[in-house]
A = this chain, B = another copy of it.
Amino acid sequence: MSEKYQALLDKVYEIYDLEKATRVLIWDRDTNMPPGGDTARVQQITTLRRLSHHLYTADEMGELIEAADAELTDLPPTSTEASLIRFLRRDYDNARKQPPDLVARIAEVSGRARGVWKQARAEANFAAFRPWLEQIVVLEQERAELFGYQDDPYDALLDKQEPGIKTAGVRAVFNAVKAATVDLLAAIQERGQPIDDTFLYQPYDIEQQRMFAHYVAAAVGYDFNRGHLAGAPHPFSTGFARDDVRITSRWYPHYLSPSIFATLHETGHAIYEQNTDPALTRTPLARDTSTGIDESQSRLVENMIGRSRGFWLVHLPALQQQFPQQLAGVTAEAFYKAVNKVKPGYIRVEADELTYNLHIILRFELEQAMLNGDLAVADLPAAWNDKMRALLGVVPPTDREGCLQDIHWTWPSFGYFPTYALGNFYAAQLYEAALVQNPGLAQEIASGNFTGLLAWMRRHIHQHGRKLAPADLIQQATGRPLSHEAFVRYVTEKFSEIYQL
């Protein structure tokens, strides 16, 4: 190995060890930390972020990148070395655009806004959160200007989550899905066969749910020797290393679904990182290439696998063993239909597979309006409720179930929500490509065997980590760029069959 490249690696290790340590602080905050720890934890995370930013944006880092690049001229672009240098150059340029005091301000506002949001949500008190969201919008505007854009300020923020993607392209896909979803939803509401999901709403022992969460995570390939499942009020997954990728889930005492599907969702994220190429270990390449591609894997596991007929054919007996009374007499077919019941609601994370994207489209449109100054933060609650009525036909009773429901804006995170819907569309396109490329796969999946599907994902997505940009990865895996088409075909077929349209 070249000496200059090794020097670059040593610096990368230092910076990414700090980043991983920050993730441990966040994991601990969200799973174990007592309320008293909050102030100090904000300070600690701020310090670590400032330090890693300082190291990353030093002139020395740029020199290390250029020196390593000059020495490694004839490597193929898909080699780890060339990929790392390519990634670092882009990321370094982006990081250099953010002055240290902005980074520290973001960390601090973010840390403090989080606590305020928590209480504001609990009390359905938007007025308390409003000044913080106003600060966040200003920070996002500053970031957009710093990163720069050609057409739309929102492009600058979107690009941080989904490198290379543009607002206009996302809008086109979203509008197509919006139209198709609204039509399909109307058809279901007008002439769909009713589905009974009442058995999901019964007392379900938390400890038993926790055990089943372990069971389903292992069933779809999560490696517990390199992972750990904990409880968290807002489930997430995070990685401290390829061989230590954590998931969290939550357990409701009277509703079974969140536990199973939050667990499967986070497991989908985690198996992506657990299956990156070991050669990428301890570098920034050893993770998802973008938030959207990451979400494609979580939604694939949650929906294409976890909400499939085959899955419950195989796994319902284990669930019934844990809850013999609650699930007596429930068939796999009835269970499959129940967990796919379409029910427009207020809460994004509780939305069904079909209406979920409408929640995202709403946030995508409101974020842009706030960023562009077309919507004052003070008017957000009303704008939110108007859009809810227009898209989903329901209006949240308070802001707790409305514009205060998500923690994301406190990160801050403009440009992040769209990746949730992009994940659904990537997932459908990848799923369709896997089926087209492997004639036997449909039969396997129908019988509840997902080994082949997951192996295809490992080969085409997981192992590459961040070596390829999302657009290139999707092109290479599916033979075409992202479009709404596979998703629309997938939901139309699935829900037409379920609802006998």
Contact = CB atoms under 8 A, between A and B. Distances in A.
A244 interface: yes
Interface in A450-477: none
A22 B48 CA distance: 11
A490 B226 CA distance: 49
Contact of A40 (B36, B230, B241): B241
Interface in A14-48: 14, 17-18, 20-22, 24-25, 27-28, 31-37, 39-41, 43-44, 46-48
Contacts of A21: 21-22, 24-25, 44, 47-48
B43 A17 contact: yes
Given A34-B226, A36-B225, A36-B226, A17 B243 contact: no
A240 interface: yes
Interface of A: 13-14, 17-18, 20-22, 24-25, 27-28, 31-37, 39-41, 43-44, 46-48, 51, 223-228, 230, 240-244, 246, 281-282
Contacts of A34: 224-228, 243-244
Q: How many copies does the complex hold?
A: 2
A223 B17 CA distance: 32
B33 A228 contact: yes
Given A34-B228, A37-B243, A43-B282, 8 more contacts: A17-B44, A18-B47, A21-B21, A24-B24, A28-B28, A34-B243, A35-B226, A37-B244
A240 B47 contact: no
B27 A40 contact: no
A210 B129 CA distance: 38
A48 to B, nearest CB: 6
A246 B47 CA distance: 21
Contact of A48 (B17, B31, B225, B226): B17
The 9 closest A-B CB pairs, nearest first, are A37-B244, A40-B241, A36-B226, A36-B243, A17-B47, A17-B44, A34-B228, A36-B225, A21-B44
A233 to B, nearest CB: 15
Contacts of A228: 32-34
